[in-house]
Amino acid sequence: MNLKVGLGYDLHRLVPGRPLIIGGVKIPFELGCLAHSDGDVLVHSLIDALLGIKGEGDIGQKFPDSDPAYKDISSLELLRQVMQEIKEAGFSVVNVDSVVILEKPKLAPFIPEMKTSLCPILGIQPENLGIKAKTAEKLGEIGQSQAIACWTVALVGHTE
Ligand code: MG
């Protein structure tokens, strides 16, 4: 199997009056991500990792925030589009591993639901999707809950 790896990163400001959506799951919190779309930092970093596999640019080039079609769109819809293109290029996902960096709230209770939302789209089993949440130890913008960030690596295989 011909293997390729992609790396993605994303960061959003946290602001009042926005929902906090991570991994396709709405998480109860007083702050949410400022964004043109739903601001799903995990899915955005995952999309960037998948675009990297095909040597493409980032999510902002593919789905411009100047395009009203993407206003408040569920990032899962964008992920479905990108996965369709990955499949059409002959690739299937082997595994994905993500690290979400946020001070609060605790994400652990929501990770099973995130896997339920993402695994069918990625075409992988839950044991092939890693989602970890780390704090910034109260340091810097992330540590002060002014921002949330996420790193993701994705491995895909080509069957030819
Ligand atoms: Mg983003």
Sketch the domain layout of the chain as residue ranges.
2-158
* Residue 38 Cα to ligand 1 middle (Å): 9
By mean pLDDT, which of 15-24, 26-35, 64-73, 90-99 is the weakest?
64-73
E-assigned strands of the chain? 2-16, 20-22, 25-27, 31-33, 91-101, 129-134, 147-158
Q: Can you tell me the distance from the alpha carbon of 59 to that of 32, in angstroms, rounded to the nearest whole number? A: 20
What are the residues whose beta carbons fall under 8 Å from the beta carbon of 66, sequence distance 6 or more?
none
* Residue 12 Cα to ligand 1 middle (Å): 6
Domain 2-158 has CATH 3.30.1330.50: yes
- The DSSP call for residue 138 is T
* Residue 157 Cα to ligand 1 middle (Å): 26
* Residue 130 Cα to ligand 1 middle (Å): 19
pLDDT at 28: 97
What's the whole-number mean pLDDT along residues 21-25?
98
What's the whole-number mean pLDDT along residues 117-121?
98
* Residue 98 Cα to ligand 1 middle (Å): 14
pLDDT at 152: 98
pTM for the full model? 0.95
* Residue 34 Cα to ligand 1 middle (Å): 9
* Residue 160 Cα to ligand 1 middle (Å): 33
Backbone angles phi, psi at 137, to 5 degrees: 55, 35
What's the whole-number mean pLDDT along residues 42-67?
92
Average pLDDT, the chain: 95
